[in-house]
Amino acid sequence: MARESFDKEIQFLRMLALTSGAYNRQQYAERLGISVHTFDKTIKRLKEVVSAVHQQLPEDKGKEFAQTMRYSYMDSSDPMLLFLFRAKSLKESESQRLSLLLAAMQDKALTAMELLDLCCGSMPADLSLPDEKTIRGDLKYLEQVGVIKKETGARPFRYRIHNEMVRELSHEELLDLYDFVDMMASTQVPSVQGYLLRDGLKKHMARQQEADRSAAPFLYKYNYYSRILDEAHLFTLLGSIRQRRMVSFLYFSPKKDTSYASKNTNPLFERETEGMQETMLPIKVIYDHQYGRWYLLGHHPGGAIRKYRIEGLTQITLGNEVAAELFETRKLELEQRIQHSWLIDTGKPVKVRVRFFHPGLGIPDFVRERVLLQGQWGEIVEEEENSFVYEIEVNGTIEIKPWIRSFGSSCEVLAPEKLRQEMIAEWKEIRAYYESI
């Protein structure tokens, strides 16, 4: 599947999840920068994916896709947006071919030529037949990801399924492993590989005809849907950082009304897009736990530091490799600029002082525990019977403000004065909302 199509569906699903079907067809198309006809084709394709991957969804054909996602959300512990990775991680021919290879190696070890003969005799007629180079590439890929194992011995080498771990585990151990993978995939980042591993364990237990205890005993729900969708670009960007390669992409700022634009291959239908064509040297990827967002940080060819929300990146292409000395220089410069960033702010450093209040006698001091856990490099500089003073130097106050605000009446900003006045104004505004009741 073309990368452009993947970008389009990522942006489509993000809007669908965040708006819960509040837009009509025309509004969705305008927001995506596509025609209503293209929008309808996208919905048709996604419905096909849903029906193939999530057989438990309602079969009401007249129900809109947005309603299908919204109403089935609590019926499954699966993140509803994960099916995109299952359906589009491989081309159809690759999916068919790998499935045949894995099924053949399930019972015995085979050589590359034996697997080639098997594929050529079993591939559907409408798909192209692989050659020896393709099969060897598939085997190398499957070996790298740990799915198969090369047996020791003389050439020609034989390959077999590498599943000794799950085969040697008891039923109770498999359940414990499944629960652990489920919990970690739902609470840690990145998550997509964990969910795919969880699904693999579930299928293995089903093949073993175990009791239906493999169903998830807990329902871990995502608060931030974009987190999974943005992982589609995550490993491409991490790979470019490891290889010190430039990247180019079409970027849509979250402040813009449009979040996607199709490629115009026909010059008669070229049009202006609201996206910005950007080129940069990626240095660092940062995840914001508070809002569930990924950020890409790096350097513009002119030398300036650039920061992008990964959810706005589309049509990513890799460029030329830069010298190791230049990359290390840019990396050191960036690290120095964000040394005192609460997240990614590169503004002027400012000292923030906040007084936190203990919850009261006989109540565990959860306020102090949370400050020590989440306060990063800040320190408690004063201790009193009913409160303590926390101090930290950060680049600007914009990023730390939501964290301070989340403590509600359990804290008071002491400095800087500008931040104190901003907090006062915000709490007065909140108070005004309730005065009429």
pLDDT tens-digit map of 133-147: 989 988 988 888 778
For the chain, percent of residues with pLDDT exceeding 70:
78
The residue whose two tokens read 């009401």 is 60
Stretch 278-283: mean pLDDT, rounded? 96
Interatomic CA distance for residues 290 and 401, integer angstroms: 12
The secondary element (H helix, E strand) that includes residue 19 is: helix 3-19
For the ranges 15-19, 335-339, 346-350, 388-392, the lowest mean pLDDT is seen at 15-19
Interatomic CA distance for residues 250 and 274, integer angstroms: 9
Tell me the helices (H) and strands (E) count for the chain, helix number first: 16, 12
Q: How confident is the model at residue 62 (pLDDT cuts 50, 70, 90)?
A: very low
- Of residues 258 and 162, more confidently modeled: 162
Q: What is the pLDDT of residue 340?
A: 95
Q: Is the predicted pLDDT of residue 50 greater than 80, yes or no?
A: no
pLDDT, averaged across the chain: 81
Q: How confident is the model at residue 87 (pLDDT cuts 50, 70, 90)?
A: low
Stretch 369-381: mean pLDDT, rounded? 95
Other beta carbons within 10 angstroms of residue 316's beta carbon come to 19
Interatomic CA distance for residues 312 and 296, integer angstroms: 10
Stretch 402-422: mean pLDDT, rounded? 95
Interatomic CA distance for residues 321 and 400, integer angstroms: 36
Q: What is the pLDDT of residue 258?
A: 67
> Residue 381 in contact with residue 391, Cβ under 8 Å?
yes
The secondary element (H helix, E strand) that includes residue 334 is: helix 324-337
Q: Identity (one letter) of the amino acid at 160? A: R
Interatomic CA distance for residues 56 and 434, integer angstroms: 44
Query: Structure pTM?
Result: 0.74
Interatomic CA distance for residues 359 and 218, integer angstroms: 31
